[in-house]
Structure 1
Amino acid sequence: MLKTVIASLLLVTSAPVAVSAAPEQVPHVVASNYRDLGDGIGFGQAKAHLCELAGMFTGYAADPQFRDLEKRQVVERIVAQPPPVGPTQQVRDLVAGYVRGYNRYAATHPRCNRPITEAELYRFNHAAFNEGIFRAHAGVWPSLPKQVKERGSNSIAVGSRGTSGGRGVLLGNPHVPWNGEISFWHSRLTIPGKVDVDGVTLLGMPFVFNGYNRGVAWSATVSTAVSYSVAKLKLVDKHTYLVDGRPERMIDRGTHWDTRYGPVTTLLRTNPHLTGHEMTPLPWTDEVAYAITDGAADRLAAVNAAAGFLEARTTADLKASLDRHGGTVRTNIIAADRRGRTLYAGIQVVPDVADDCVVDQEFLSRTSVAIVDGTRSACKPGLLPVDKMPWIESDTYATNSNSSHAFVRADKPLTGFPRAFGDEKIMNLRTEFGLKEIPRHLGRYDADTMRKLVLENRNTAAEKYLDSMPCTRPECEILRKWDRRNEIGSVGALLFDRWFATGGTPEAFDKAVAELGPKIRQPLGEVQYVVRNGRKIPLHGGPGASGVYNLINMDWERQEVSDGSSFIFAVEYTDKACPTAYTLMAPARPDLYSAKKWQKGALCR
């Protein structure tokens, strides 16, 4: 049996921002089977991020939700079952290997040696895809979550009729945190004759949601679909509710009260635009309470589906993995392959709710979350069948920038799907930019076109609204001279973004000028930067609220990127055995990102 090998494809230096910046180091994991591949991923992630991972695993282990899952052996019961509920053999091997590799590296570093078990890793992955439980708080868990900033992604897949070479081209531009939980680790993963993928895994997960091989390239975007519903309970007393006319007692879990519909909750984060700021109180009384039902809470659909991507050769293979395992959770998959086919798949865990069970149509319309009649056992939602979910395969194009399935194509909207998938009438500004820009290049798409498009840094809000926004102060001259881009040298970008985000009124302009002070006259890169090895690295890009495709959300207090463009990759299939591919791993190498110095894909160097 081959021994797992982790090698660096290229050496790395801490170069300053310059065109001659050294290439990114990309670990290459070579293994003979999935268990050894998982070992390499766990070892490699630990080598790059050990203390972050140790802190993450320790924090989760102390969380009330985790303690409850462990006490009740919830995940252990799921893992004991066959797929599609429990893990596939491929997932079992990847998880077992990851734990082995992670612990092997951690054991040599006492300062952050926090070993993990397979059960803990399964619990972490299970909780990561429990969208409903994650969004329900007061009444379930004892404290409110930290504020969650906007997260999303852009992806464009173009097929044979839209590319210059007659084969598929993909742009992947996921927007995730640059550090800590939900951040990426970039690597090449190889099992000779079976797997050879260049892509990224999330910390704590041995699965590739964004990557490519010699046959197909795929990228995930955060979707507007929801995997959960809320049940309205009729109370007999504080902890007893009626179902089909008979009283049922809530179960005291120690950390929360449970019902047949799931844990009770008084507060739900329901913002459909993913900013995480909208906390919706559920109006409890002496007669009414609420519980949350998460369709992903009793299965490992997302990890099973994603693990199957590793051996995919076509867009059809990706869809088959999604269909077989019931989809992902709140994640779209966009893909293009060597044949020139594209795929948009909004195939994910979504509750199947009967119309006559919904008790609040306005709430459903506003949030995509159904509140069902908890007095009827027949109203407990099941899972929507995959054949009722939105997807499209074609030889033209498909795109998603975190608006709903209805905006995958400008010329062929997908509509008529359950409201749980999101709003079919309202799109965000990044989506609007893409749907206008993408058709302009049809017939000419290649990897270079994608590279230019994603980093043009055009400010969609400014292009659309600036000329009509009321502005009479002398400082308005800054915006009149601004190039309406969020480039490093753009003067006015920060002022406009702050003004637009706070309402675009004269009062909002006055406030933005006062808050920013002399920064309003500085190039963007002088105020939007990160510090690495004592050097300031200026950053282009801007907020999604302004429709900047190259999204960058800054934590201004820490002068750090909270989330935004991370693993950017452009893949073009040609008649050659290897695709033409370019990547930018912004969090690991902000100097390369700043210089827009793309690296050749690790697959075919």
Structure 2
Amino acid sequence: MSGHGYTARIRRTEYGIPHILAPDHASLGYGYGYAFAQDNLCQLADEIVTLRGERSAYWGAAATTADGTPNLASDTYQQGLRRAGTVQRLLHRPAPLGPTPELRRMVEGYAAGYNRYLHDTGVDRLPDPTCQGKPWVGPISALDIWNVVYDVNGVAATGGMKEAIATARPPGAGPASVKGLPKAGPRAVVAPGASPGAGSADQVSSRRSDLGSNGWALGREATADRTGMLLANPHLPWIGNSRLYQVQLTIPGVLDVAGAGIYGTPVVEIGHTAKLAWTHTTSYADHASLYRLRLAPGDPTSYVVDGKTVPMTRRTVPVTVRGADGRPSTTVRTLYSTRYGPVLADGWTATEAYALRDASADNLRSMNEWLAMGTSQSLAELQRAHRTYQGIPWTYTIATDTGGSAYFIDSSLVPHVTDAQLERCSLPGDGDLPAVLDGSTAGCDWGSDKDAVVPGVFGPGQQPKLTRADYVANSNNNPYLTNAGAPLTGYPKMFRTSAQIGSRAQLGLRMIAERRDGTDGLGAPGFTLPTLQAAMLGNRNHTAELGRDDAVAMCRAHPVLTATDGTEVDVRAACDALAAWNTRDDADSKGAALWQAFRVGVTLGGPHQWWRVAYDPAQPLTTPRGLNGDDPQVRRALADAVQRFHRDGIALDAPIGRVQRWAGIPLPGCWGAEGCFNVVAATPTSGGSGGTAPASPRDYAAGSSFVMAVELTATGPRTRTLLTYGESVNPRSPHYTDQTRLFAAGKWVTERFTEAEIAADPQLRVTTLRHPQS
């Protein structure tokens, strides 16, 4: 263990929430790392093995990581990164480009705290059976934590392309094709979740709409007491290394921040201080560029830029692989890179190839920024942190303070490609992918802004931003309707500020408008903390509110519909179930499961016209609408849903909690594709094997994870929280499902923020750590 001296106190309140108190940043990291290891050592140990490129040595080449990448490909990518010394090179930079001294000490302490818990407990006595006694569990280093940070920062681009990078080979002649570069999202590759009731392969979805977040900042004109209020509702996987951990970090007189952070990172990424609260949602902007390379004639490992031949960079990477007989061997692969970034396997022919340039390829600055946000007490200080570090990799920021202003910004790292360059340099491709640019001319390189701390990205002066006294809101939509009364326009096209927004975002803006005028049934106009909580867990379903009655009319008029396989299906009982449904997705809402199967069946069923009234840019919040019961695919989808429920023995009026569960607990909410605000995607068996990794893809779960409602009053913050899956991945821990039961029942945790509130908890447990031990 480290020779540094550390002193920290871990105060655990209800539901095992740790409040770390320490005199300095190193000791704060020490306490945080120790507390996290108590709850989730197995998950972080698994991730460290992945980031060290050692999975094949323990589990063989054919097994996969949590995101589905084959071990050998993952190890090849990670070993290549380590051999290139990428993270070490970034660590040598002084702040603001490299870590601040305080952050360096915090990371060192975090690793030491983890190691202290492992040393004191012993591998063979770890409480989680997932890694108890396993040979792949051992001490970690500060560099391991920095690798976690780098991996988190890259998920909007490189994180989803590791296999394509690791398997790229010079090919023979053949047709070019480019597989989709994942849009921004936590850990990028979204594991699938089976549809309700079916559990069949044809109903597996990896729709990005179920991941990301809802975020509201409510200003003084929207709140009953003219305070600033915030709703944080990130939608992230419930299994694996994208989970969030709830914590409070305190250095008296220096830092006091509460909220949650991604596993293995040493800071609070969504949270609040005494006078400021913030959250993040996934940015729609491009965070990378694909460059199409024109290869040199006769040499597929060289490319041409402005008429000059440039050889690709090659790096040989050996990977240790455990064979079927348990014996190790070495597999050697070669990685190829260019001036733009790594070459991808997809589309590499004798004449052209594709390279990926990631705006976060040089980014460790994010943790500087989040640590600075954790000391901020006003929007002005938060904005200063943004301008100083410019490290937020792939999210919007939504914030408010005690002054009652609401603030939105896309300060994420976006490649500096001007509209003129896009017009001149873009090549044909999928409109949902980042622009494919012409790599044969330097005129298509990224540019720079004078106010950007690094070259190649847009600076703060060109980023979409909005400050309001009423509200700003985002639900994984583009920035255009951050506020319905003040559309954001005129920004570079790389920020993707087009007009149309999705159904969930429309619902969020409706919910705000209805609360402000008091038409939502929650009482007098204006947000209070209780009405903000009620709105969040109201489990409204936008597509049902707009189309359920039309669906009932359709099946009343056509009581027998034809399924995809040609079977005639009697849908009269389905009509009754949908007619009786309250259009909510409470865990016990009968009929909700049928609507989900119907709605998703239309989405997956091929070309269709779900809505009778198409989207109209002049009516962005009220169109599209009116379910089109005349569309054949819409009718087939209802017949298919009824047929599937009969086949699987599920009642047509089954509640949504019948088909989506976590460790057997019925869950409220539904898929983002349905226009649900409280997004949950799960199966009947999700969570049965713990939170480290799913037993199969069908056990995957995602959606509302850390939910936080904050009111910033003159006397301090009033906060309610929910960590939907609890603080621990260990299925034997009391904190594996304790908050899941609260979530299922629509209950919240009253946060303890002040020292008096923490001390008053009757369940308070205190651990005092010192190193060297005394």
Same fold (TM over 0.5): yes
Q: How far did 1:142 drift?
A: 3.0
Partner residue, 2:511: 437
Number of the residue aligned with 2:655: 523
Is 1:482 matched with 2:614?
no
For the pair 1:452 / 2:534, whether they are aligned, the reply is: yes
* Structure 2 equivalent of residue 274 of structure 1: none
Equivalent in the alignment of 1:129: 153
**What residue in structure 1 maps to residue 108 of structure 2?**
96
CA RMSD in angstroms comes to 2.1
Instruction: Name 2:79's counterpart in structure 1.
Output: 67
Aligned to 1:603: 753
Q: Does 1:413 align with 2:551?
A: no
Q: Secondary structure at the match of 1:3?
A: strand
Q: 1:363, CA displacement in angstroms?
A: 5.4
How much does 1:330 deviate? 1.2
**Number of the residue aligned with 1:499:** 598
Q: Which has the larger radius of gyration?
A: 2
SS in 2 for 1:77: helix
2:444 to 357, 363, 379: 379
Query: What residue is the counterpart of 1:513 in the other structure?
Result: 642
Residue pairs, 1:302-317, within 5 angstroms:
302-317=366-381
Alignment pair present for 1:369 and 2:451: no
The SS at the match of 2:52 is helix
How far apart in 2 are the matches of 1:32 and 1:106?
23
After superposition, give the CA deviation of every residue in 1:289-341 in whole Å (9 maximum; x if it has no partner). 11111111012232221121110101221121112111411111111111111
Q: Aligned-pair distance for 1:412?
A: 0.5
Among 541, 547, 554, the residue aligned to 2:675: 547
Partners of 1:523 and 1:365 in 2: CA distance? 38
Is 2:714 the counterpart of 1:575?
yes
Q: SS of 2:386's equivalent?
A: helix
Q: Report whether the alignment pairs 1:591 with 2:729.
A: no
**Worse-matched range after superposition: 71-80 or 556-565:** 556-565
- The percentage of aligned residue pairs carrying the same residue is 30
* Residues 97 and 348 (structure 1), Cα distance of their counterparts in 2 relative to 1, 3 Å cut: same
State the shift of 1:137 in Å.
4.8
Name the counterpart of 1:19.
none
Alpha-carbon distance, 1:60 to partner:
2.4
Shift of residue 104, structure 1, vs aligned partner: 1.1
* CA distance, structure 1, for counterparts of residue 111 and residue 685 of structure 2: 35
For structure 2, the residue ranges without an aligned partner over 5 or more in a row are 54-74, 125-130, 132-136, 169-178, 180-188, 193-205, 317-333, 447-455, 517-524, 559-570, 603-609, 611-633, 688-698, 727-738, 758-774
Give the conservation status (yes or no) of the 8 Å contact 1:368–1:420.
no
Q: Deviations over 1:513-556 (max 9, x none)?
A: 2222342232222332222xxxx422111111111111111044
Counterpart Cα distance in 2 of 1:184 and 1:156: 19
SS of the residue aligned with 2:47? Answer: helix
Q: Distance in 2 between matches of 1:85 and 1:65?
A: 24
- Cα displacement (A) at 1:400: 0.8
Out of 293, 296, 311, which is 1:249 matched to? 311
Aligned partner of residue 440 in structure 1, secondary structure: helix
CA distance in structure 2 between the aligned counterparts of 1:453 and 1:25, rounded to whole angstroms: 27
Whether 2:213 is the aligned partner of 1:153: answer yes
Give the direction of change, closer, same or farther, for the CA distance of 1:168–1:121 in structure 2 (3 Å limit): same
- SS of alignment partner, residue 140 of structure 1: helix
Give the structure 2 partner of residue 461 of structure 1: 543
Structure 1 residues 378 and 81: CA distance shift in structure 2, 3 A: farther
Provide the secondary structure at the position in 2 that maps to 1:154. strand
Report the Cα distance in structure 2 between the residues aligned to 1:363 and 1:483, rounded to whole angstroms: 46
State the Cα deviation string for residues 418-472 of structure 1 (Å, max 9, x = none).
2322252221111100112212223611211110101111110111123334433
The CA distance in 1 between the partners of 2:740 and 2:163, in whole Å, is: 38
By how many angstroms is 1:368 displaced?
5.3
Instruction: Give the Cα separation in 2 of the matches to 1:258 and 1:584.
Output: 44
Show the counterpart of 2:500.
426
Distance 1:361 1:506 in 2: 40
Task: Return the alpha-carbon distance in structure 1 between the equivalents of residues 216 and 418 of structure 2.
Answer: 34
The one-letter amino acid of 1:105's match is Y
* Alpha-carbon distance change, 146 to 349 in structure 1, aligned in 2, over 3 angstroms: closer
Q: Which residue of 1 aligns with 2:605?
A: none
Q: Which residue of 2 aligns with 1:120?
A: 144
Do structure 1's residue 53 and structure 2's residue 135 form an aligned pair?
no
Contact 1:568-1:585 at 8 Å conserved across structures = yes
Q: Distance in 1 between matches of 2:667 and 2:370?
A: 32
In 2, distance between residues paired with 1:257 and 1:122?
24
Deviation at 1:262, TM superposition (A): 0.5
The 1:221/1:109 distance shift into structure 2, 3 A limit, reads: farther
2:477 counterpart of 1:398: no
Greater mean deviation of Cα atoms: 148-157 or 165-174: 148-157
Q: Which moved more, 1:457-466 or 1:367-376?
A: 367-376
Distance 2:526 2:164 in 1: 55
State how far apart, in whole Å, the 2-side matches of 1:137 and 1:100 are. Answer: 30
TM-score by length of 1: 0.90
Q: Distance in 1 between matches of 2:100 and 2:500?
A: 38
The yes-or-no answer on 1:176 pairing with 2:250 is: no
- Secondary structure at the counterpart of residue 16 of structure 2: coil
Could you list the per-position Cα deviations for residues 344-393 of structure 1 after superposition, in whole angstroms to 9, with x for gaps in the alignment?
11111000014454466575782251222212224221111121001112
Measure how far apart 1:557 and its partner are: 4.9
Alpha-carbon contact 1:365-1:419 (below 8 Å) kept: no
Q: Report the residue type matching 1:585 in the other structure.
A: L
Letter in 2 for 1:201: G
Superposed CA offset, 1:14-66 (max 9, x none): xxxxxxxxxx2311100111111111111111110111111121122223222
